[in-house]
Amino acid sequence: MKTFENLNLSDEIITTLNIQYIKEPTKIQRLCIPEILKGKNVFGEAKTGSGKTLAFLLPILEKTNPNNEVQVVILSPTRELAMQIESVAHALNTPLKILSVFGGRDIQSQMKKLKNPPEMIIATPGRFMDLYERKLINLNTVKCLILDEIDQLLEMGFRDDIIKINKWCVQKNQTLGFSATLSKSAKKLVYALTDTPEFISAEDDGYEQSHIAKDVVFTTPRGKFADLCSYLNEENPFLSIIFCRTRRRVDQLEVALHQAGYNCMKLHGGMPQSKRQQAMKAFRDLKIQYLISTEVAARGIDVTGVTHVINYDLPESPESYIHRIGRTGRVDQRGNTVTFVNEDEKKAYEDILNAINNQLK
């Protein structure tokens, strides 16, 4: 059995992991950490909840020293994921200065913090480019560029921004990337960034999630809300994320569920950052039972104890389905999912499940 001691990590990092009861590396961590420590350009693919954040943070923290220069840039598709990565990094008790920058937060405050350069910047691409073009970030000292949730970065239209940022990091000698799924477009981007990528998959034969129950409710557009309420009343999930396809659908469903007496809050990209943070904190602190969200807003968020994922709207692709249901059943705990499907969507839903080797129930 591999342990963190076998992965050439320092005693300080291993002690910190032990304090947090993190004793055994996951498969993606076992495969990637040694290669990243060797300086290779690693691009990892592993299911949601498999420990990808630590797979890149642990070796990079090991390789980075405090020197008041920006050495590591991590690009994230969403504000919430950027804050989560920053939180995980701080929890590892590192002496490095770490700063997350993203839209929706006061840019003046971020500009002040950059006057004392952090060794690691975690950012959404848009805000990062804004600060760089204001000549507030020196990228001449960057050694490593990391892309988290590559497929989502591409889906959100950040391809050209990523290529620009990569070119600005003129001294960069390592590029890393991670995602639950590495699509053809993601691999094409990887080859635009480096000639020597090493692709590492922690998946077995197919995408197996046997520890997650997958149910479907066939319904009608008019009857969907009533069917959702019936499901919530019958199951009474301890903690659940309800996914809608658009911000407008999230807004409408939150109002309807509030009026029906359910303890819920909403989360989507059109909300002020303070409201988004308030919703996430309430969810993590178990002050609400249901978080109603778009997929983009919830991408990459790791909340312990999510027992149910509800697809109120049909996901658009197998990749979207994987990311959604990966919010439950974290680290192989039991999880439950249900997808509400109109009769004319049955074939599309079956195609999604067949694509990831699962069956309808």
Query: Mean of the pLDDT values across residues 270-283?
Result: 87
Task: Pick the more confident residue, 284 or 252.
Answer: 252
For helices 125-133 and 159-168, give the axis angle rounded to 10 degrees. Answer: 40
Same domain, 286 and 336: yes
Q: Of 312, 321, 3, whose CA–CA distance to 181 is shortest?
A: 321
Query: How many domains are there within the chain?
Result: 2
Same domain, 217 and 181: no
Query: Mean of the pLDDT values across residues 56-65?
Result: 95
Residue 76 C-alpha from the chain's centroid: 8
pLDDT at 42: 97
pLDDT digits (tens, 9 = 90+) for 11-58: 999 999 888 878 889 899 999 999 999 999 999 998 777 789 999 999
Task: Pick the more confident residue, 193 or 81.
Answer: 193
8-state DSSP, 275: H
pLDDT at 298: 65
Same domain, 217 and 194: no
Q: Is residue 206 part of a domain?
A: no
- SS3 at position 12: helix
- Specify the CATH number for the domain of residue 247: 3.40.50.300
Q: Of 46, 245, 76, whose CA–CA distance to 158 is shortest?
A: 76
8-state DSSP, 297: H
pLDDT digits (tens, 9 = 90+) for 156-210: 899 999 999 999 999 999 999 999 888 899 999 999 999 999 999 986 533 445 5
Provide the residue range defining the domain that includes 185.
4-201
Query: Mean of the pLDDT values across residues 307-319?
Result: 87
Residues 58, 63: Cα–Cα separation, whole Å: 9
pLDDT at 315: 84
Q: Are 86 and 302 in contact (CB under 8 A)?
A: no
Q: Are 4 and 54 in contact (CB under 8 A)?
A: no
Dihedral sign from CA coordinates of 31, 32, 36, 41: positive
CB atoms within 10 A of CB 30: 19
> pLDDT band at 360, cuts 50/70/90?
very low
Residue 207 C-alpha from the chain's centroid: 18
Same domain, 194 and 223: no
8-state DSSP, 345: G
Residues 97, 113: Cα–Cα separation, whole Å: 10
pTM (whole model) above 0.75: no
Q: Are 355 and 318 in contact (CB under 8 A)?
A: yes
Main-chain dihedrals φ then ψ at residue 213, nearest 5 degrees: -75, 135
User: Residue 247 is inside which H or E element, if any?
Assistant: helix 247-259
Same domain, 262 and 193: no
Residues 165, 298: Cα–Cα separation, whole Å: 25
How many percent of the chain have pLDDT more than 70? 93
> pLDDT band at 331, cuts 50/70/90?
low
Average pLDDT, the chain: 88
Same domain, 37 and 183: yes
Q: Is residue 184 part of a domain?
A: yes
pLDDT digits (tens, 9 = 90+) for 214-257: 888 999 999 999 999 999 999 999 999 999 989 999 999 999 99
- Asked if the model's pLDDT at residue 276 lies above 90, the reply is no
Residue with tokens 């990337």: 177
